[in-house]
Structure 1
Amino acid sequence: MESINQQMLTGERALFKSRDLIIKDSVFADGESPLKESCDISIDNSIFKWKYPLWYCKNISVKNSSFLEMARSGIWYTHHISISDSIIEAPKTFRGSSDIHLTNVDMPNAQESFWNCKDVYLTNVTAKGDYFAMNSENIKIDNFRLVGNYAFDGAKNIEIRNAKLLSKDAFWNCENVTVYDSIIIGEYLGWNSKNITFINCTIQSNQGMCYMEHLVIENGKIINTDLAFEYSTVDVEATTVIDSVKNPISGKIQAKNIGELILDDQEIISANTQYELDKAGEPCDL
């Protein structure tokens, strides 16, 4: 393979349609789309300073590198890419891409990243920015930190482990989501979604988990959460007091207690939801 070492690369499409290339200790300065339409590229300890660095690419490996803020909209329509031990400061990274592997990556400006992507694998990733992973599918995440609203809107087939999500309106319009051993903080969690499961999670959400079909919570801590489960079908096992529950459609809610149970919609058949309170599982006196 040809190697490029310690080069300052400038100008539009500096390495357009490159093949079988190793790039080390180099800087991509001013000039859009430096590696557009390239494939089989290995990049190590390099810096991207300008827009659209990796569009329409295939088989890309990036290690110990940095995408600065102006390398925005940097990786679109690219397939089979791995990035490790790197910083992606640029927003709007990853659109219409697939087979994406990130390991030990910081994304301090992840606004509108991972849109319409498939087969996304994130390990030890931190991100900050709204609209993360909108309309993406087949996502597996482990050890993840996210600060940003509207995360995963419209996404499906998601598995998340060991995460902390500070996100208003997270998991809206989703299908087939399982979250393990995580903390989720933010209002209006999970509206209009189906087949959503939280296992060993801590949830704090104002008016959370409403308009949901087949919501499952196993061994969950539901704290400072009110008006929960409105118009949802549920199978909830909480180890805490739930502040208030409003008009669930059907299912079972087990909790240490419910501060306020609101059943004020005459079209909802209250008997379709079973309530079990305290550790002995005694039925709620409706």
Structure 2
Amino acid sequence: MQERKKITQEFLTGERALFKSDGLDIYDTIFDDGESPLKESKNISLTGCFFRWKYPLWYCENITVSDCTWFDMGRAGVWYTNNISVCDSIVEAPKNFRRCDGLSLVNVTFPNAQETLWSCNNVEINNVTAKGDYFGMNTNNLKINKFSLVGNYSFDGCKNVEVHDSKLISKDAFWNTENVTVYDSFITGEYLGWNAKNLTLINCTIESIQGLCYIDNLVMKNCKLINTTLAFEYSSVDADICSKVDSIINPSGGTIRAKEIGELIIEKDKVDPEKTKIICEGK
């Protein structure tokens, strides 16, 4: 087995400062002016390090990161990298984590998550906060727990996603997705879930203008719909709603059960009313 080398409290500059390294334990080190310092490296651990410049971890394998910081210019920080875990860290830079396979994020903060986590596979997120638009686009096989997001257009085009105990403030969340299940979470934002297939919401609270439309197989179990209007348009639905729904328009089929429906709009020239069963329990 190759002996591991230790690097401690270095200040590294210049392009590809540790290019193609193998078997390094790096502590309290600053990667400053110089692109791609760890490009094509493998079997690397980083603890208490600072990334101040672009592209630090590209085409890497088997990376462990703890208590590190990506500053604003450490953008596009981790691309094309497999088997990487990041914990207890801050990622200030945008456009991070692209085309990675086997990614774990635990106790990570993204104050500028613009265009982050794109086209990744096999991802686990635990206790993460993020702010920025277009988070998680085209990422598949994603497990999320205790995630807080402020940012629109999240998780567009994702497949096989499981979300638990999370809060999403996000317009156009889960568009064009397939096989998404959300448990015990809060989601607010217009146009939730359009063009999705197999979207399931369990014990969730939803606030969405024109939300949950154009969905093939929408399942809702014990969910609240607050200030949600013109819901379910052209969606096939099996919805159990434990609150009032402000308005429903033109579901394409299925069953909708609710405590109360403020307004029900069924236009016979657009949908077949016989295909949808509406059960309203009253106030």
TM-score by length of 2: 0.98
Pairing 1:163–2:166 present? yes
Give distance in 1, aligned partners of 2:123 and 2:255.
Answer: 33
* Alignment counterpart, residue 60 of structure 2, candidates 51, 57, 62: 57
What is the CA deviation profile of residues 70-118 of structure 1, one whole-angstrom value per residue up to 9, with x for unaligned ones?
0000100000000000101110001111100011000110100011100
1:75 matched to which residue of 2? 78
Shift of 1:267: 3.6
- Determine if contact 2:159/2:179 at 8 Å carries over to the other structure: yes
Task: Calculate the aligned-residue CA RMSD, in Å.
Answer: 0.9
Give the structure-1-normalised TM-score: 0.97
Secondary structure in 2 aligned to 1:256? Answer: strand
What code does the residue aligned with 1:229 have? F
Alignment of 1:244-283 (within 5 A): 244-278=247-281
Match of 1:214 in 2: 217
Alignment of 1:1-286 (within 5 A): 1-278=4-281
Distance in 1, matches of 2:76 and 2:133, equals 15
Rounded to whole Å, the distance in 1 between the matches of 2:29 and 2:131 is 27
Structure 2 unmatched runs, 5+: none
Letter in 2 for 1:38: S
Runs in 1 of length 4+ with deviation above 2 angstroms?
A: none
**SS, match of residue 111 in structure 1:** coil
Q: Percent identity?
A: 57
Tell me: CA distance 1:224–1:25, structure 2 relative to 1, closer, same or farther (3 Å).
same
Post-superposition offset of 1:171 = 0.3
Please give the secondary structure, in 2, of the residue aligned with 1:271. helix
Task: Specify every segment of 5 or more residues in structure 1 that has no aligned partner in the other structure, as ranges.
Answer: 281-286
Alignment size in residue pairs: 280
- Aligned-partner Cα distance in 2 for 1:78–1:225: 41
* Cα distance between partner residues in 2 of 1:60 and 1:32: 18
Superimposed CA distance per residue, residues 200-224 of structure 1 (whole angstroms, 9 cap, x where no aligned partner): 0000000001100000010000010
Shift of 1:279: 7.0
SS of the residue 2:274 aligns to: helix
Query: 1:240 aligns to what SS in structure 2?
Result: strand
1:265 positional shift = 4.2
Give deviations 1:99-142, integer Å, cap 9, x for gaps: 00011000110100011100010000000100011011000000
